[in-house]
């Protein structure tokens, strides 16, 4: 009997941005740490993504627990062909990242200084979480969740 392969882990979520520097500052304020930054290019990279002739500057951000990563990418070539950052949250294929935090009010006050805006309201879901969505740097949709401790 052939053993079926299995998923080992989720490695990262990737987000394309206009300004890598601004995105790094924002996600650092959120609590992620810059793990590395480099340029990815070459024929092999285009064979993976289907975007031939690409040159992409990438910054890998890691969560404080070291288990999750966010890959921020700025395309140097070719130019970005579409922008759906301002689409509503019920758009097909829309990406948002959710982060668990320990003090959502304090974090929001810091992120507001970096231009973040609430999408709706900060709400409490049952006796489990305080939750909100924000538009962060470049309009990226970010979810924040603070566990409610009894």
Domain with 30 in it: what CATH number? Answer: 3.10.180.10
Give the end of a domain, one of 81, 108, 130. Answer: 81
Task: Answer for the pair 21, 34: CB distance below 8 angstroms, yes or no.
Answer: no
Contact criterion met (CB below 8 Å) for 71 and 60:
yes
Shared domain check, 150 and 90: yes
- Confirm if 69 and 60 have CB atoms less than 8 A apart: yes
Residue 2 resides in a domain:
no
> Is there a single domain that holds both residue 65 and residue 94?
no
Measure the CA–CA gap between 150 and 143, rounded to whole angstroms.
Answer: 22
Residue 142 structural domain:
85-150
Structural domains in the chain (count): 2
pTM of the prediction? 0.86
Burial string for 44-73 (b: 16+ CB within 10 Å, else e) reads eeeeeeeeeebebbebbbbbeeeebbbbbb
Same domain, 145 and 110: yes
The residue among 106, 112, 120, 109 whose CA lies nearest residue 137 is 112
**Domain termination site, one of 81, 105, 129:** 81
- Evaluate whether residue 131 is within a structural domain: yes
Same domain assignment for residues 90 and 75: no
> Does 33 map to a domain?
yes
- The model's pLDDT over 32-83, given as tens digits with 9 standing for 90+, comes to 999 999 999 988 888 888 888 889 999 999 999 999 999 999 999 998 888 8
User: What are the φ and ψ backbone dihedral angles of 27, each rounded to 5 degrees?
Assistant: -70, -25
110 and 73 housed in the same domain: no
**Long-range contacts of the stretch 35-42 (C-beta < 8 A, 24+):** 35/60, 35/61, 35/62, 35/69, 36/60, 39/76
Whether 100 and 147 share a structural domain: yes
Single residue among 64, 81, 98 that ends a domain in this structure: 81
Confidence of residue 115 (pLDDT cuts 50, 70, 90): very high
């Amino acid at each position: 009997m052939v053993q079926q392969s299995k998923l080992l882990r989720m490695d990262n979520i990737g987000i394309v941005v206009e300004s890598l520097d601004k995105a790094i500052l924002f996600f650092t304020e959120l609590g992620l740490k810059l793990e590395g930054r480099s340029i990815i290019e070459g024929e092999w990279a285009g064979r993976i993504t289907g975007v031939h002739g690409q040159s992409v500057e990438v910054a890998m951000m890691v969560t404080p627990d070291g288990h999750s990563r966010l890959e921020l990418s700025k395309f140097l070539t070719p130019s970005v062909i579409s922008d759906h950052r301002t689409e509503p949250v019920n758009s097909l294929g829309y990406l948002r990242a959710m982060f668990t935090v320990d003090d959502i009010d304090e974090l929001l006050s810091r992120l507001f200084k970096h231009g973040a805006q609430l999408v709706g309201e900060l709400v409490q879901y049952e006796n489990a979480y305080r939750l909100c969505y924000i538009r962060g740097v470049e309009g990226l949709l970010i979810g924040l969740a603070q566990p409610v401790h009894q």
